[in-house]
Amino acid sequence: MLPFQQAVATDLSLVNDMIIKELHSEVGLVENIGHYIVDAGGKRLRPILVLLTARCLEYPEQRHIDLATIIEFIHTATLLHDDVVDMSELRRGRPTANAQFGNAPSVLVGDFLYSRAFQMLVRLGSMEIMAILSDTTNVISEGEVQQLINAKNPAVSEQDYLTVIHKKTAALFEAACRTGAVLAGAGEEQKEAAWLFGHHLGLAFQLIDDLLDYEGDQAALGKNIGDDLAEGKPTLPLIHAMAHTEGAEQELIRDAITNGRVDHLADILALIRRCGSLDYTRRKAQEHAQKAELALSALPDNSWRRAMEELARFSVTRAY
């Protein structure tokens, strides 16, 4: 268990119990698919952000357990939908839910998890938190559509890419931190600092995810190397490499994106490395991780804040 997980280990165990309880349904397939994807593990980063933020701001009650569960359900719903859209076959080292159960059940159980999250939100009873999370789910949906539009388009700019990863990934990190601060009764300055931490952490996290798709270890990642290229996703390593190549080399990358081809993956990997595209992506991620740490200066200096600092460092040093 990593230090930032240890810091909230007791709370996280309660979140896992709450997940099992709230997955209950009279329809067996709903529970089967829900348990299948939730039991696959994962780092539980988004609920951990809720727990760490609330504890850092000295929240004394237990409703942060409910909020962390809500955030995890929203995230899990997006994973179910993502894998169907991307036609993914492997996640966290085993078949995706859509590969195991089919596309239609996966989409419908994703809908169940979204609706269960909003049932729980109503019970939580905070209009401010509900407003944040309803806006966030809308932004995530926009990001999904924009990524679909950008797929197999080699003309996507770095700014276009950053807009998509903000909507698809950073938005839920932001929401997890800000709602944790709202629940703790924080003032506007601390709510904004929590949001800023989540914003930069989410961007750093996704940048490293996209880098690992080209230099990671398949067993550690639990997915196939080159999956992004196979789906025609123009992520930052490819965008940077295209900007620093020309002629046949640039055309090789352009063709791979346009047609989702991985038959020249080794040649493209060599180009990405030669152009310094992986180093460039890592530097961008490190810049955001540093900004995330700086944002924490507005929060109380305690063990939970130090765990959040550790999480910022982990986001750019991880290999999975």
Q: Can you give the CATH number for the domain in which 151 is found? A: 1.10.600.10
> Where residue 298 falls among pLDDT bands split at 50, 70, 90?
very high
Q: How many domains does the chain have?
A: 1
> Where residue 163 falls among pLDDT bands split at 50, 70, 90?
very high
For residue 40, pLDDT beyond 80: no
Please give the residue that has the higher pLDDT: either 97 or 114: 114
The pLDDT score that the predictor gives to residue 200 is 98
Closest CA to 49 of 204, 185, 180: 180
For residue 150, pLDDT beyond 70: yes
Q: What is the pLDDT of residues 233-278, one digit of tens each?
A: 999 999 999 999 999 999 999 999 999 888 889 999 999 999 999 9
The pLDDT score that the predictor gives to residue 204 is 98
Place of tokens 């997980």: 5
For residue 217, pLDDT beyond 70: no
Asked if residues 86 and 231 have their Cβ atoms less than 8 Å apart, the reply is yes
Distances (CA, A) of 100 to 73, 74, 83, 96, 97: 20, 21, 11, 6, 5
Q: What's the whole-number mean pLDDT along residues 86-101?
A: 79
For residue 219, pLDDT beyond 60: no
Chain Cα centroid distance, residue 203: 9
Q: Token pair of 183, please? A: 């629940």
> Distance between CA atoms of 97 and 174, rounded to whole angstroms?
27
The pLDDT score that the predictor gives to residue 168 is 95
| Residue 59 amino acid letter | Y
For residue 1, pLDDT beyond 90: no
Asked if residues 265 and 229 have their Cβ atoms less than 8 Å apart, the reply is yes
> Distance between CA atoms of 59 and 40, rounded to whole angstroms?
30
91 SS3 class:
strand
The pLDDT score that the predictor gives to residue 34 is 81
Q: What's the whole-number mean pLDDT along residues 71-75?
A: 96
Q: Token pair of 92, please? A: 């966290």
Provide the domain limits for residue 303.
3-317
The pLDDT score that the predictor gives to residue 220 is 52
Of the candidate ranges 137-141, 217-221, 293-297, the one whose mean pLDDT is the lowest: 217-221
Measure the CA angle with vertex 50, ends 282 and 297; round to 5°. 65
| DSSP state, residue 86 | H
Closest CA to 100 of 149, 32, 160: 32
Q: Highest mean pLDDT range out of 1-5, 98-102, 200-204?
A: 200-204
Instruction: DSSP for 194-238, please give it.
Output: HHHHHHHHHHHHHHHHHHHHHHS-HHHHTS-TTHHHHTT---HHH
- Phi then psi dihedrals of residue 90, to 5 deg: -140, 130
- pTM for the complete prediction? 0.94
Asked if residues 228 and 147 have their Cβ atoms less than 8 Å apart, the reply is no
The pLDDT score that the predictor gives to residue 41 is 67
Q: What's the whole-number mean pLDDT along residues 91-105?
A: 82
105 SS3 class:
helix
